[in-house]
Amino acid sequence: MASKIGVYVCHCGMNIAGTVDVPAVIEAAKAMPRVALSKEYKFACSDPGQEMIKQDIKAHGLDAIVVAACSPLMHEKTFRRAVEAAGLNPFLLSIANIREQGSWVTEDPAKATEKAKAIVAGAVFRAARQEPLEMRSVEIHRAALVVGGGIAGIQAALDLADSGIPTTLVERQPSIGGYMAMFDKTFPTLDCSACILTPKMTAVGQHENIKLMAYSEVESVSGFVGNFQVRIRRKAAYVDHTKCNGCGMCMEKCPYKAPSEFDQGLSQRRAIYVPFAQAVPNKPVIDPATCVRFKGKKCKTCIKFCEPGAIDFEQKDSVEEVTVGSIVVATGFQPMDAKKIPQLAYGRHPEVYTALEFERLNNAAGPTQGKILTKDGRVPQSVAILNCTGSRDTNYHEYCSRVCCMYALKYAHLIKEKLHEATVFDFYIDMRCFGKGYEEFYRRLQDEGVRFIRGKAAQVFGGKEYKAIANAAGFIDGLEDHQLVVQAEDSLLGKLIRVPVDMVVLTPAVEARADADEVGRKFLVSRGADGFFLEQHPKLAPVSTTNDGVYIAGACQGPKDIPDSVAQGSAAAGKALGLIARREVEVEGTTASVVDELCSGCKCCLTLCAYNAISFDADRHRSSINEVLCKGCGTCVASCPSSAIKAKHFTDEQIFAEIEGLMSM
Amino acid sequence: MANAKLKVGMYWAASCGGCDVALLDIHEKILDVVAVADLVFWPCAMDFKVHHVEAMPDKHIDVCFISGAVRNSENEHMVKLLRRKSKVLCAFGSCAHIGGIPGLANFWDRQSIFQTVYHASPSTENPKGTVPVERFKVAEGELTLPHLYDTVKTLGQTIDVDYFLPGCPPNPDQIAAVIGVIAAGKAPAKGSVVGASERAMCEECPRKKTELKFKSFKRRHLTHPDPEVCFMEQGIVCVGAATRSGCGWRCIGSNMPCRGCYGPLPSVHDQGAKMLSAIAACIDADTPDDVERILDTMPDPAGTFYRFGLPASMLRRRQRGQDGREAR
Amino acid sequence: MSFEPRIVGILCNWCSYTGADLAGTSRMKYAPNVRVVRVMCSGRMDPTLVLKAFQEGADGVLLAGCHIGDCHYISGNLKTLRRIPLLKRVLVELGIEPERLRLEWVSASEGARYQGVVNEFVEQIRSLGPLDLEARRLPATASAS
């Protein structure tokens, strides 16, 4: 037990000293057990402040240090380094948080001082019981995994591979490209999406350092920072891609069709297909749900037309294991199902489109070759774009989806460009044009004659029944059968408006993928209240997660546009690279361990560990903890009925001592 | 000490007498004991009076075993007297060690116990409402009774104890071994628990256990547990995982779950809290409502987890508050 | 003099302690009665620690961890979710009002929630009055193990 404790109470300028009577705390600390010296300092974290502590440790032979200052989350590392530089084990430091949880939250100086004394006493009592610990060093495997082949994942994989890191890119779909591959143009520059994306996709496909595993999914992840073992399931494509030359004859001849996922069901694809022409890899897969051979029929069309003989109906799923040092999760988002908002008539009226459907409708490679046409082939005379479909709406998603205002402007522009005569209405709550060149784009669209209506669309009506009602009630004159009516409150005019249009485009919220929960558990990445993956710090660690070695990029972390997704892809790759470049990583020694002499083999701990760090030796009838896997949560420690598991740096004795100290004042 | 026989005493404070029987249960080994020891005080077995003890010089008794908790003024007086008269003093059995069954009285207090015993209990027939009084004058003089305390204490909370021999009652083999060790002058460090293991019951328990998951709790007397399988896996609370082994798993062998008489493990601060924690963490529920629903199937959790050790637990007894108010 | 409750708060490092820090950086004022112990996860919140706080004279104990589903250690808080109701049942039998022990989920972004929880809990304990644990008035516990 430490017997010569040094206590340092920081003024933090006036942040602490303005409320807490620092000299009184110093005096109180002097009377605490095992305190050898007690000093105050203006800014303890400054170089001279740290120097003073170092000198005192050497001069007075201090064997534990208490710094009463800001939160340990702020400066524990700083003071640990200082203590270590003076030859003391860094775990012999204890921080008393008298700022964030003291001076800043307490109005009455007397009460703040009293609380500060108690907090210091807690730290002093605890410090006496603290034990030296070693940091553990773990070697880092020089390889990376990127999960998700959308633009964020593509960028991350390319950055890693370009730096010479062997990188595995896993994509669930038959091709990489993600949502960006579906877009026609990108806002606000109106670049052709395919023109800027396709070269990157090709680069991925050809990169010597990238192992592309499309049509594959991560099954499980084990291990820890620097040494993740990842099992990846490659789904059976029923086509031997090593033989396939991508000629496309099979797709041309296949007689069975299904709605194209890529075209949002607006066109058909074959049972053997590549999702789109520029797909990477550009090798087909057979969809067993559509192919009649899986229903017992004897169709041989694809086999007959495949010159290299690549069709293989015997193919099975295969599982590969890769070992990587770091992981970038870029699993993206999903658009909200617009049917969840029944009043917007999606799925009930054919001329109500989702944004992605409209993207395909508008795309030169899409089902109408880029012609904006209604389902019955007419050119719409008027189109309404409804912003905030399920975003900024406490019934659905409270958050802003960040991209809809901008792509709504893009649609408005494209409609105006293609159909000069058409009227475009944009119903919005607020126009959020925060990015580079975005506000300028908005201004340009205002000049292009788009009718912006400040009011959230409340309801979309349509059909003959509504026409009858509307005409009878005199709502709208001359409504045609095929027309839709968008009803909203124009909040600038303060009145209800009903706008007849030929086509309605919804902007469904960007939401966390339905399986984000499961994926998060695989990678031990937690999720926020909005369902998206949670970054380690919203400002200072935006692509890191609380699982060391796992980074997040793109819209899996929250709604994001292409520039932000790319930036995050690069950022995550940079973090992953930085980790790999260190070759080895220090891991905190604050794990749990089993005291063998006390373990009776009761097995109460076995089911508790979320990291499978506890194993049971049946021969010896003892539990043991793999400290490399242990994250140090202490859940097993709290449960062990024999108190045979010790949480290093958080032992019962240390916490007991801290409670005794806190209650001693 | 090589030539002289060891002078041994055995006393019972708040005890059922089972410990004295357990001492006799060492059977013919009692002869070995008698060969090396003189029994200088054992009121349960032979006729001794208090004045015999009072007449002894201090530290006259080499080893004194005391069973029972300290519940009244007489218990306290006697154990303090014996402490003075003994060189080595050993708490014998669960009651002296951790409070034992008499310690359950700490869920109540003197007043409520008197109310139940002399008035409210269905089997009480007391039309005159007679209650014990500590002093009562009769023609022959004054009769006295010891004062019953509100709070049962362990022996260690009352006097300085050298060793603790746990068990309700202690395993006879362990008793013999401990006497042998002390007689041989190979006494362990002061304050040690002797005659028991440093590991929990599960160390010795022969039952099979795979994974703990409580979907509900079952009461032993309403079930027919599989004698091969861990009680806990069958939903029956067994506190063996938080209890020292050394008893020879007599209960478990009789298809009864461990109730904890051997007391907590060496680094455990509160036997009940640790067992509670281990069991609750394995409740098969993830919502507060489901947890409560499963907990509703566990009768008397406090009595279950503190059956033997309430006086030695961190909170020692049921709190009554300054004004004696009830928290219930 | 009015009764000033003394409360021990045990907060998980990642959510609740960070949330309490956020209340500080946001300069939210709240009752000074809670003295905080930081542990890594609410899963570490051994019932023994709660008893220790009461034993040392705390009038109330506040436990706070990450919201269910958001545990930094995946499921540590679930173990606490299960333990505390049983502990409360035992506390009732031990004569301690279950309201003196409170389990809350406070995320790293809920500084205001932490402020609210503390203020509310302090008032609740104030109305319950001091615990005045009897064990503190009984003789010291000699080695019982």
Mutate to test the interface with C, among A100, A587, A648, A656 (most CBs of C within 10 A): A100
A584 backbone dihedrals φ, ψ, rounded to 5°: -140, 155
Please tell me the predicted confidence (pLDDT) of residue B328. 39
Is C140 in contact with B97 (Cβ distance < 8 A)? no
pLDDT at B32: 81
- Domain range enclosing B54: 6-101+151-193
The pLDDT value recorded for residue B257 is 97
Q: Is the pLDDT of residue C139 over 80?
A: no
Strands B163-165, B86-92: pairing is parallel
Token pair 């506390």 in the structure block, residue: C91
Estimate to the nearest angstrom the gap between the alpha carbon of A225 and the chain centroid: 18
In this structure, the answer to whether residues B78 and B159 fall within a common structural domain is: yes
Q: Does C136 touch chain A (CB under 8 A)?
A: no
Contacts of C79 in chain B (CB under 8 A): 280-281
The token duo for B90 is 């050993």
- Domain residue extents for chain A: 5-133, 141-234+318-332+524-587, 249-305, 334-511, 589-648
- Distance from the Cα of C62 to chain A's closest Cα (Å) equals 13
Chain C residues with CB-CB distance to B193 below 8 A: 145
Inform me whether the C-beta atom of residue B270 falls under 8 Å from chain C C-beta atoms: yes
Asked if A198 and A207 count as a contact pair (C-beta separation under 8 A), the reply is no
User: Is the separation of the CB atoms in B277 and A643 below 8 Å?
Assistant: no
Pick the CATH number of A589-648 from 3.30.70.20, 3.40.50.720, 3.40.1410.10, 3.40.50.1950: 3.30.70.20
**Which of B154, B286, B305 is nearest residue C90 as measured by Cβ atoms?**
B305
Q: Give the pair of three-digit tokens for residue A204.
A: 């991925």
CB-CB under 8 Å, A602 with B202: yes
Whether residue C87 contacts residue B276, with contact meaning beta carbons closer than 8 Å, is answered with yes
Q: Among C130, C138, C144, select the one facing B97 at the smallest CB separation.
A: C144
DSSP assignment of A375-420 equals TTSPPPSEEEEEEEESSS-TTS--S--SSHHHHHHHHHHHHHHH-T
What residue has token string 């060496």? B266
pTM as predicted: 0.76
Name the superfamily (CATH) of residues A334-511.
Answer: FAD/NAD(P)-binding domain (3.50.50.60)
Instruction: Check whether residue B21 and residue B133 sit in a common domain.
Output: no
Q: In chain B, which residues have pLDDT < 50? A: 1-2, 323-328
pLDDT band at A516 (very low <50, low <70, confident <90, very high): very high
pLDDT score of B187: 79
Residues of C in contact with B287 (CB under 8 A): 81
Q: pLDDT above 70 covers what percent of chain A?
A: 100
Chain B residues touching A635 at Cβ < 8 A: 281
- Interface mutation vs chain C, best among A15, A609, A635, A640, most C CBs within 10 Å: A635
Asked if A639 lies within 8 A of B211 by C-beta distance, the reply is no
pLDDT of residue C145: 37
**Closest residue on chain C to A605 (Cα):** C79
User: Within this chain, do residues B138 and B168 fall inside the same structural domain, yes or no?
Assistant: no
| Residue in chain A lying closest to C18 (CA) | A73
Answer yes or no: do B212 and A607 touch at CB < 8 A: yes
Instruction: List C-alpha distances in Å: A30 to A26, B39, C82.
Output: 6, 55, 42
What is the total count of domains within chain B? Answer: 3
Q: Is B65 helix (H, G, I), strand (E, B) or coil?
A: strand
**Stretch 16-75 of chain C: residues touching chain B, C-beta under 8 Å:** 46-48, 50-52, 54-55, 68
B266 and B144 in a common domain = no
- Helix or strand (DSSP H, E) at A661: helix A652-663
Do B185 and B212 fall into the same domain?
A: no
- CATH topology agreement for domains A5-133 and A334-511: no
Residue in A74, B302, A412, A271 with CA at minimum distance from that of residue C95: B302
Residues B248 and B138 in one domain: no
Write down the pLDDT at residue B58.
Answer: 97
What is the tally of helices (H) and strands (E) in chain C?
4, 4
Among candidates C6, C20, C71 on the partner chain, residue whose Cβ is nearest the Cβ of A663: C6
Residue A462 vs residue A414, higher pLDDT = A414
Q: State whether B35 and B60 are in the same domain.
A: yes
Strands A216-224 and A227-234, sheet pairing = antiparallel
- Flag if C37 and A115 touch (Cβ within 8 Å): no
Q: Tell if the CB–CB gap between C52 and A659 is shorter than 8 Å.
A: yes
Average pLDDT value for chain B:
92
Confidence of residue C141 (pLDDT cuts 50, 70, 90): very low
The DSSP secondary-structure symbol of A544 reads B
Q: Are residues B226 and B286 in the same domain?
A: yes
Residue B38 in 3-state DSSP?
strand
- Cβ of A633 within 8 Å of Cβ of C72? The answer is yes
Choose, out of C40, C117, C141, the residue to mutate when testing the contact with A (most A CBs < 10 Å): C40
Any C CB within 8 A of B278 CB: no
Question: Taking phi first (over 0 means left), then psi (-120 to 50 degrees means alpha), and beta for anything else, what does residue A557 get?
Answer: alpha
Q: What ipTM did this prediction achieve? A: 0.96
Which residue in A143, A187, A138 sits closest to A161, CA to CA? A143
The distance of C48 to chain B (nearest Cα, Å) reads: 6
Question: How far from A378 is each of A131, A351, A419, A503, CA to CA, in Å?
Answer: 79, 11, 12, 11
- Taking only the tens place, the pLDDT of each residue in A322-372 is 999 999 999 999 999 999 999 999 999 999 999 999 999 999 889 999 999
Report pLDDT digits (tens) over A409-425. 999 999 999 999 999 99
Give the number of C-alpha atoms closer than 13 A to the C-alpha of residue A2, restricted to the C-beta side: 33
User: Which CATH number applies to A141-234+318-332+524-587?
Assistant: 3.50.50.60
> Which pLDDT value is given to residue B326?
47
A631-660 pLDDT, tens digit per residue, is 899 999 999 999 999 999 999 999 999 999
In whole angstroms, give the CA distance from residue B261 to residue B271: 11
Neighbours of chain B (3+ CB pairs under 8 A): A, C
Model pLDDT, residue C144: 37
Is the pLDDT at C143 greater than 60? The verdict is no
Residue B213 lies in a domain: yes
**Rounded alpha-carbon distances, angstroms, from residue B50 to A529, B53, B55:** 73, 5, 9
How many CB pairs below 8 Å do chains A and B form together? 79
pLDDT at C37: 98
- Assess A639–B contact: CB distance below 8 Å, yes or no: yes
- Contact residues on chain C for A588, CB-CB shorter than 8 A: none
For chain B, say whether A640 makes contact (Cβ under 8 Å).
yes
pLDDT for residue A27 is more than 50: yes
- Cα–Cα distance between B162 and B59 in angstroms, integer? 14
* Pair (B185, B246) in one structural domain: no
* Nearest CA-CA partner of C108 in A78, A71, A16: A71
CATH code, B54: 3.40.50.700
Are B46 and B180 within one domain? yes
Average pLDDT of chain A is 94
Tell me: do B160 and B139 sit in the same domain.
no
Mean pLDDT on A431-447? 96
The CA distance from B26 to A48, in Å, is 72
The answer to whether domain A5-133 has CATH 3.40.50 is yes
